[in-house]
Structure 1
Amino acid sequence: MNTQQADAPGRRWAPWLVALLAIALVGGLALGVGAARMGLLPESAAPTPTPTEVVVPHPTVTTGSSTPRTCSIADDVTSSAALDFHGIVERADTGEVLFARQEDEATPTASVMKLVTAVTAVSTLGADTRLPTTVYPGTEAGSVVLVGGGDPTLKSQTTSYYAQATASIAELADAVTAAGGATTVSYDDSLFTGDTWQPSWNDADRVDGSTSAISALMIDAGRADPTTEYSPRTLTPSEDAADAFAAALGADVDDTIGIEPDSEPIAEVWSPTVEQLVETMLLDSDNVIAEVLARLVAIELGAGSDFDAVDAGQQLALDALDVPTAGFVGADGSGLSRDNRGSAATIVGLLELIDEGDDGLGILRDYLPENMQSGTLEQRINGVPDGAVQAKTGYTDQVYALAGFMVLPDGVQLTFALFVAVPNPETDATTTTITNRNALDAAATAIYNCGIELTNR
């Protein structure tokens, strides 16, 4: 029934007609019930046998908001500093899209790609999974082989930047010494194959201290200084780990020695859980942890074990989660590559899964940086209350990105993904600057201030 099509105002019914209609209604109800009992009507079709109850039809419920939406952020997203703006904002409680601009068009992702890595790692590997580093007897007398299982947080000394690191070279060396010691060390990093440095990465990221060459066998995520977040990183992670292990044993290194066939491990240590690794990856935007997890997802799904397998593994995991992937390219797990592509719709699809909390993904919400409080947002978006925005940040010379959740003063939550990107990243020589980041933060602030009155106009 359309409640807008009621009788015209002012119409009156004669008393005798009202009485006649009442008699007909009661009689009809009785006849309907009797017909159902005799099998003429299905039981479900019988009218309710309580003629005195008045049922008032409700208006059709929609997912749209009844709040007038008149608040525009057009000036913020079309400014020159906003470059080529892609984004989508929706109400988490209703799914209503409040704002959308090029939301289905793939764009460079930067470290927002780590949301893909986080979701696929937890859903594929399991939040409680730990990664082993193992020592086996070698094929030569007095030799042992150090075998990497993907733990980038393996400690070379007692202190580490990674407060949650649980495995150390010293622990492995103590176990080998207790078993009789060793005079020669070899290593096995064959879990990961292919290049250790993604061809599209800029070597400046290694020198500046955010990224190392990637191996299944690493110590301190390749840092020269194990105790600091940003430290020059190695191009020889496996060799460095073997050298540190040999030094702890007072042994030499000979990488030609293999594992003794059918042997049992002499020693084994275990990484933090995948959940703990993901926490560090999201809060600190840790590139090395992201690369290791993405590679392990690819291996788990049978996609391969090199950089090329990362995209295939992510695609398989996203398809299994029913996340839209049109235009998606996962050139790496960290977002460092200029070849990564993803749409705002893909990223919001991931955020919806996190918000729903199925398959253990709800834990990821707690590990997103909060504005003016934690992680890579600790000193950003000061125009809204502290902690009102929880989001993953991203930056390369092609794009600034921000994706996550906003909680408005009335408790309503918005889910969003925003990108300020170079218009033609394949050919344009333009590079992003702090001005573009400020434009992104201004757009996020404007969205918060508009709240559920945000309009797409």
Structure 2
Amino acid sequence: MSTQQTDAPGRRRAPWLVALLAIALVAGLALGAGVARAGLLPEAAAPTPTPTEVVVPHPTVTTDSSTPRTCSIADDVTSADALDFHGIVERADTGEVLFARQENEATPTASVMKLVTAVTALTTLGADTRLPTTVYPGTEAGSVVIVGGGDPTLRSQTTSYYASATASISELADAVTEAGGATTVGYDDSLFTGDTWQSSWNDADRIDGSTSAISALMIDAGRADPTTEYSPRTLTPSEDAADAFANALGADVDDSITIEPDSEPIAEVWSPTIEQLVETMLLDSDNVIAEVLARLVAIELGAGSDFDAVDAGQQLALDALDVSTAGFVGADGSGLSRDNRGSAATIVGLLELIDAGEHDLGVLRDYLPQNMQSGTLETRLDGVPDGAVQAKTGYTDQVYALAGFMVLPDGTQLTFAILAAVPDPDSDATTTSLANRNALDAAATAIYDCGVELTNR
């Protein structure tokens, strides 16, 4: 039985990206063999492009409103536990800014960076795109090569933490066995280049199960226990995937084996759609999915295929969406890096696109956690009616962040981004605590309580 998926959705590029990609191609981008097999554009042959900074001024605070605004949250945002508070709150129906504090100043983002990753992945890669894992004949008799296309949800077993996972090692092995079997397995993870571990990450995040080393060839997003969300993760994802595939075939691994030139695939399986991966990333704040998506965006836009390319890729995609990149640094796609920076105004700019449904981004609204109901907000903001807040959470030792939407009792919607950051985020000595998260939640609750009467004073 062949696992070649002949009706897999093709890569769909948004119309506004056609001109950008055409320019990149004219500039001399060459297709690489490994990447072409994976169905993605390769790393650019030319140097990584320098993004042009596009600064879109955010509306200034105004008092032009038919509703008197006399409700202040000053005590909440200036408390010691609120740290160095950044934020902006606006009415979605009028665009009126009700509150703003350091809204244009870049600050650490934590996992709110995943809003950037979600928006750029959908608009650059296409919602229906799927990622292949492919097997080719190898250069030695009886050998095959498994080629990673970026699917971090590839299953090693029957069950997986990822309910939406659609591809498995056993499916690939069954197809190879039907085609005659193999005695030796090689592997190709060349779609992603450079280091597999971001240098500013804390290894504690791997040990506690928050993230893994990143490769284009992975199983179970690097988990030791594929069924548990927070399971210790691997530093050798490619080797682990190759071992699992070889074991399923009863074969050995030989990393010197390469793809037989001009050969056709023996087997191929496909990931969930980009939209499904984004949904899991936002609800569960999944760091590995975020890193894979950010890398694929960089590759698609010709920015490169390593960690250093992520920032350029994100900025190119944001520029094309006319979202401010002033002060923006996308050191990774998950927000784990201490080097990430973004402003509340940039984050709200993304939320405005989501709320307007531009570029088919409206679906992201449904994938944001809801207070006291789902995802990373399931046990938070109990002072607000259940489900009234839909927002992306964020936490590192530098910052607590929250960004999304509030629906008031009368149906009026507020769009907001608030961040409580340590005063000196570049210092390794600083760290956040639960008290800071509680202060951020108190500010969010106060914003809800004030509603349209919120004042910047």
Q: TM-score, normalised by structure 2?
A: 0.86
- The Cα of 1:359 is off from its aligned counterpart by 1.2
- The Cα of 1:426 is off from its aligned counterpart by 1.1
Q: Following the alignment from structure 2 to structure 1, what is the Cα–Cα distance between the partners of residues 177 and 446?
A: 62
Q: Deviations over 1:110-158 (max 9, x none)?
A: 0000000000000000000000000000000000000000000000000
* Contact 1:407/1:413 (<8 A) preserved: yes
AA aligned to 2:182 is: A
Q: For the pair shown, which has the larger CA radius of gyration, 1 or 2?
A: 1
2:40 is aligned to none
1:412 is aligned to 412
Q: Which runs of 4+ in 1 moved over 4 A?
A: none
Give 3-state SS (helix, strand or coil) of 1:305's partner.
coil
Give 3-state SS (helix, strand or coil) of 2:350's partner.
helix
Give 3-state SS (helix, strand or coil) of 1:72's partner.
coil
- The Cα of 1:428 is off from its aligned counterpart by 6.5
Q: Following the alignment from structure 1 to structure 2, what is the Cα–Cα distance between the partners of residues 315 and 384?
A: 35
Q: Following the alignment from structure 2 to structure 1, what is the Cα–Cα distance between the partners of residues 249 and 358?
A: 46
2:355 is aligned to 355
- The Cα of 1:424 is off from its aligned counterpart by 1.2
Q: Deviations over 1:371-426 (max 9, x none)?
A: 00000000000001000000000000000000000000000000000000001111
1:231 is aligned to 231
* Contact 1:284/1:375 (<8 A) preserved: yes
Q: How does 1:10-409 map to 2 (within 5 A)?
A: 64-409=64-409
- The Cα of 1:63 is off from its aligned counterpart by 9.9
* Contact 1:422/1:428 (<8 A) preserved: no
Give 3-state SS (helix, strand or coil) of 2:115's partner.
helix
Q: Following the alignment from structure 1 to structure 2, what is the Cα–Cα distance between the partners of residues 168 and 177?
A: 15
Q: Following the alignment from structure 1 to structure 2, what is the Cα–Cα distance between the partners of residues 67 and 266?
A: 67
Q: Following the alignment from structure 2 to structure 1, what is the Cα–Cα distance between the partners of residues 430 and 237?
A: 34
- The Cα of 1:427 is off from its aligned counterpart by 2.8
- The Cα of 1:65 is off from its aligned counterpart by 2.4
- The Cα of 1:429 is off from its aligned counterpart by 2.2
Q: Following the alignment from structure 1 to structure 2, what is the Cα–Cα distance between the partners of residues 309 and 147?
A: 22
Give 3-state SS (helix, strand or coil) of 2:425's partner.
coil
* Contact 1:64/1:94 (<8 A) preserved: no
* Contact 1:77/1:85 (<8 A) preserved: yes
Give 3-state SS (helix, strand or coil) of 1:345's partner.
helix
* Contact 1:153/1:220 (<8 A) preserved: yes
Q: Following the alignment from structure 1 to structure 2, what is the Cα–Cα distance between the partners of residues 425 and 412?
A: 35
- The Cα of 1:286 is off from its aligned counterpart by 0.2
Number of residue pairs matched by the alignment: 396
Gaps of 5+ in 1: 1-61
Q: Following the alignment from structure 1 to structure 2, what is the Cα–Cα distance between the partners of residues 364 and 357?
A: 9
Q: How does 1:423-434 map to 2 (within 5 A)?
A: 423-427=423-427, 429-434=429-434
Q: TM-score, normalised by structure 1?
A: 0.86
- The Cα of 1:358 is off from its aligned counterpart by 1.6
Q: Deviations over 1:96-115 (max 9, x none)?
A: 00000000000000000000
AA aligned to 1:432 is: T
> 424-433 vs 139-148, which deviates more?
424-433
Q: Following the alignment from structure 1 to structure 2, what is the Cα–Cα distance between the partners of residues 96 and 243?
A: 57
Give 3-state SS (helix, strand or coil) of 1:71's partner.
coil
AA aligned to 2:84 is: D
> 429-438 vs 307-316, which deviates more?
429-438
Q: Following the alignment from structure 2 to structure 1, what is the Cα–Cα distance between the partners of residues 427 and 220?
A: 37
Q: Following the alignment from structure 2 to structure 1, what is the Cα–Cα distance between the partners of residues 102 and 253?
A: 55
Q: Following the alignment from structure 1 to structure 2, what is the Cα–Cα distance between the partners of residues 121 and 63?
A: 37
Q: Following the alignment from structure 2 to structure 1, what is the Cα–Cα distance between the partners of residues 413 and 275?
A: 24
Q: Following the alignment from structure 1 to structure 2, what is the Cα–Cα distance between the partners of residues 374 and 240?
A: 32
Q: Following the alignment from structure 1 to structure 2, what is the Cα–Cα distance between the partners of residues 134 and 410?
A: 52
Give 3-state SS (helix, strand or coil) of 1:132's partner.
strand
Q: Following the alignment from structure 1 to structure 2, what is the Cα–Cα distance between the partners of residues 386 and 455?
A: 25
* Contact 1:83/1:423 (<8 A) preserved: yes
- For the aligned residues, what is the CA RMSD? 0.9
1:58 is aligned to none
Q: Following the alignment from structure 1 to structure 2, what is the Cα–Cα distance between the partners of residues 98 and 162?
A: 40
Give 3-state SS (helix, strand or coil) of 1:65's partner.
coil
Q: Following the alignment from structure 2 to structure 1, what is the Cα–Cα distance between the partners of residues 429 and 202?
A: 16
Identity %: 90
AA aligned to 2:376 is: T
AA aligned to 2:66 is: S
Higher relative contact order (CA 8 A, sep 6+): 2
